[in-house]
Structure 1
Amino acid sequence: MATSPASRVWFVTGASKGLGRAFAQAALEAGDRVVAVARRTAPLDELAAEHESRLLTLPLDVTDRDAVFAAVAKAVEHFGRLDIVVNNAGVLFLGMLEEFTEAQARTQMETNFFGALWVSQAVMPYLRAQGSGHLLQISSIGALGGFPSNGMYSASKFALEGMSEALAMEAASFGVKVTIVQPGGYWTDLYSTGMTMTEPMEAYDSLRAEMQKQWAEGSIDSDPRLAAEAVMKLVASDDPPLRLLLGSMVYDLAFDISRRRMDTWAAWEEVSRAAEHAIPAPGSDDS
């Protein structure tokens, strides 16, 4: 592990509550400077009073691309640089896929995927110019696989991870690092003010009841400060991973899902391999 450089500058989205606030607070307690952005910044007033010149709060809706670019420019103007960018802003829509309205589906993607894309695009010119920086894309256990009632949320996080894998390779030659953080369950406002339920269809009542029973029996979430402690170790590393799992449950689930996928691929290997046989390009002299 490397020694943390003095007074790094963080840019944290969705910083007014939950994981975002925990990340911002941990960074401030480490002596770093933080640009904390959120739709509503009033919940950050107390934190701002405690840390005065080391915390800049900016109101921002990450789905507004122009506003994102303006906020990033203001952050750099204020602190002179960016070192750690945390794409944490997100919303959660729960419901069976058949129940989703177009507006709900688009809102899910606009915040969780496009919001992170706009922030990534906005910060990259500054990070490239510096030749350094670390983007943390806050994904989810939902990106490990699709689950009933979680399909659109998982879709947004799958999209985020696909984009982030490509970004990591594109940014590497400029000295910029990217890590996809996959948290398990934490007690945040995502389950209350950040969550919207679809209008339930009677056809799914039995499945919904079964799922609610499973959640009641096995849902144990953690203090967001534990996630913040892990993130502080992550950003102190000279060689951060492309992916980091947070929590024993998500760690075990990741391996279980991966093994089941590998078993399925192996069982269908003959069919998979038979579907490929190189031939000359259509219309070529050899065809």
Structure 2
Amino acid sequence: MTMQTWFITGVNSGFGRELAEQLLSRGDRVAGTVRREGSVDDLHAKYGDRFWIGHLDVTDLRRVREVADAAFRDLGRIDVVVINAGYGLFGAAEEFTDEQVVHQINTNLLGSMQTARAVLPHLRAQGGGRVIQISSVAGLAAYAGASLYHASKWGVEGFTEALAQEVAPFGIEVTLVEPGGARTSFTGSSLRLSEPLAAYDGTPAAMVRAFRDTQITVPGDPVKVAAKVIDSAAQKVAPMRVILGSDSYQEVTAALRRRLAQVEPQHASAAETDADS
């Protein structure tokens, strides 16, 4: 197997950490970013120069460019970029503070967009590469109590699907990954909840409070998810989407069928607004 070099945002925990460990253990090089210094010292001690670390908060858009430029400068060619950093903010839409709204969008959406924009000049210059955007089942299906998280992930989906068409002429291929629930630290360090309003007690939006109040078992195995993401990078034609988890498949297909059922009956009435020929 030919050694590859990967750039991954958010390698301190969750899917990012699992990806880094699997790639390093098989002999690849990884440029990983972390917000908290020292959080991946164990990996650096074990793998040395094959593990490059950049300190990055993706809400600092200028810093995103600086870290991406440094990684390509220090490592040369980077074969695969995985845009992974992010977190989940849940609650009813009116429960969030303005600061929470801005930070969620800045992290999940603008941070992802800027990471892609920062690496594209380098990928074009080297004649191609692969960009893998970690999205979510929440990028294609929607649930009460997750409106702001959906706003960030649906934005990522639209941006990434259009981006794939823009960069294809340069030999750059793009994939969206939509995992379902996985047994990572997401419900710990990567999950934040709004301050609840009593008005929403007993409503569908309040269901997300169970993440904080109870232990919910989800089906996804992060080791298997990371392995599938790695496998997708080896496909000769990059898949536009990789659905991971039986829950993700069920929720996504159900959401798409509901959407078609809402749209298809309007075939005739939609044409009524066309200009007369």
2-structure distance, mates of 1:161, 1:111? 15
Checking the alignment, whether the CA contact within 8 Å between 2:91 and 2:208 is kept in structure 1 is: no
Shift of 1:217: 9.9
What is the aligned partner in structure 2 of residue 193 from structure 1?
Answer: 189
2-structure distance, mates of 1:49, 1:64? 28
Q: How does 1:165-184 map to 2 (within 5 A)?
A: 165-184=161-180
Q: Gaps (5+ residues) in structure 1?
A: 281-287
- Alignment of 1:53 onto 2:11: no
Letter in 2 for 1:233: D
Shift of 1:233: 1.0
From 248, 253, 277, the equivalent of 2:274 is 277
What is the aligned partner in structure 2 of residue 283 from structure 1?
Answer: none
Shift of 1:58: 1.3
2-structure distance, mates of 1:30, 1:79? 18
What is the aligned partner in structure 2 of residue 98 from structure 1?
Answer: 94
Query: Could you say which structure has the larger radius of gyration?
Result: 1
TM-score, normalised to structure 1, is 0.90
Checking the alignment, whether the CA contact within 8 Å between 1:16 and 1:41 is kept in structure 2 is: no
Checking the alignment, whether the CA contact within 8 Å between 1:181 and 1:246 is kept in structure 2 is: yes
- Give the fraction of aligned pairs with identical amino acids, expressed as a percent: 37
2-structure distance, mates of 1:213, 1:153? 15
Q: How far does the alpha carbon of each residue in 1:209-229 deviate from its partner, in whole angstroms, 9 at most, with x for none?
A: 872698779742322111111
2-structure distance, mates of 1:266, 1:146? 20
What is the aligned partner in structure 2 of residue 112 from structure 1?
Answer: 108
Letter in 1 for 2:25: E
Please give the secondary structure, in 2, of the residue aligned with 1:146: coil
Please give the secondary structure, in 1, of the residue aligned with 2:52: strand
What is the aligned partner in structure 2 of residue 233 from structure 1?
Answer: 231
2-structure distance, mates of 1:177, 1:44? 29
Letter in 1 for 2:23: A
1:120/1:213 CA distance change after superposition, 3 Å: closer
1:212/1:37 CA distance change after superposition, 3 Å: closer
Checking the alignment, whether the CA contact within 8 Å between 1:41 and 1:57 is kept in structure 2 is: no
Shift of 1:105: 0.6
Letter in 2 for 1:151: S
1-structure distance, mates of 2:208, 2:12? 29
Shift of 1:190: 2.2
Shift of 1:112: 0.2
Checking the alignment, whether the CA contact within 8 Å between 1:95 and 1:149 is kept in structure 2 is: yes
Q: How does 1:41-190 map to 2 (within 5 A)?
A: 41-190=37-186
Q: How far does the alpha carbon of each residue in 1:139-160 deviate from its partner, in whole angstroms, 9 at most, with x for none?
A: 0111112211100001000011
Please give the secondary structure, in 2, of the residue aligned with 1:35: strand
Letter in 1 for 2:240: L
| Paired residue total | 275
Q: Gaps (5+ residues) in structure 2?
A: none
Checking the alignment, whether the CA contact within 8 Å between 2:180 and 2:245 is kept in structure 1 is: yes
Q: How does 1:18-33 map to 2 (within 5 A)?
A: 18-33=14-29
Please give the secondary structure, in 2, of the residue aligned with 1:89: coil
What is the aligned partner in structure 1 of residue 207 from structure 2?
Answer: 211
2-structure distance, mates of 1:191, 1:249? 17
1-structure distance, mates of 2:208, 2:195? 16
- Alignment of 1:268 onto 2:266: yes
1:265/1:8 CA distance change after superposition, 3 Å: same
TM-score, normalised to structure 2, is 0.93
2-structure distance, mates of 1:97, 1:86? 29
1:212/1:114 CA distance change after superposition, 3 Å: closer
What is the aligned partner in structure 2 of residue 251 from structure 1?
Answer: 249
What is the aligned partner in structure 2 of residue 285 from structure 1?
Answer: none
Checking the alignment, whether the CA contact within 8 Å between 1:143 and 1:157 is kept in structure 2 is: yes
Checking the alignment, whether the CA contact within 8 Å between 1:113 and 1:157 is kept in structure 2 is: yes
Letter in 1 for 2:275: A
Q: How far does the alpha carbon of each residue in 1:229-255 deviate from its partner, in whole angstroms, 9 at most, with x for none?
A: 101110111011111111111012111
Shifted more, 14-23 versus 202-211: the winner is: 202-211
Letter in 2 for 1:250: S
